[in-house]
Amino acid sequence: MSVVLVVQPDAAQAKTLREISRRIESDFVMVHSILEAVEAIAVRTPDLILLSALLSPRDEDALMMHLRTLEDAPHLQTLTIPQFSTGTAESGVRKSAFGFRKKAKAAVAMGCDPAVFADDIVSQLRRASEIRSRPVVPKRVAVAAPPPEPIVFAEPEPIVSAEPEASFDLSAYLITPDVAPV
Share of the chain above pLDDT 90, in %: 7
Domain count, the chain: 1
80 lies in some domain: yes
Cβ-proximal residues to 167 (8 Å cutoff; 6+ apart), any chain? none
**Cβ atoms 81, 13 nearer than 8 A:** yes
Cα–Cα distance between 50 and 26 in angstroms, integer?
13
Q: What is the DSSP letter of 44?
A: S
79 lies in some domain: yes
Cβ-proximal residues to 87 (8 Å cutoff; 6+ apart), any chain? 109, 110
120 lies in some domain: yes
The confidence score (pLDDT) of residue 30 equals: 92
Which residue from 20, 15, 8 is spatially nearest to 115, judged by alpha carbons? 20
Supply the CATH number for residue 123's domain: 3.40.50.2300
Q: What is the DSSP letter of 84?
A: B
Query: What are the tens digits of pLDDT across the range 150-170?
Result: 777 777 777 666 565 556 566
| Domain carrying residue 30 | 3-86+108-133
167 lies in some domain: no
154 lies in some domain: no
Q: Is the pTM of this model over 0.85?
A: no
- The order of strands in the sheet holding 77-81 is 27-31, 3-7, 48-52, 77-81
153 lies in some domain: no
Segment 74-96 shows an average pLDDT of 70
**Cβ atoms 28, 17 nearer than 8 A:** yes
DSSP calls for 110-129: -SB-HHHHHHHHHHHHHHHH
157 lies in some domain: no
**Cβ atoms 30, 49 nearer than 8 A:** no
- With a cut of 70, say whether residue 176 has pLDDT above it: no
Query: What are the tens digits of pLDDT across the range 89-108?
Result: 555 556 666 666 666 666 56
165 lies in some domain: no
Query: What are the tens digits of pLDDT across the range 10-29?
Result: 888 888 888 888 888 888 89
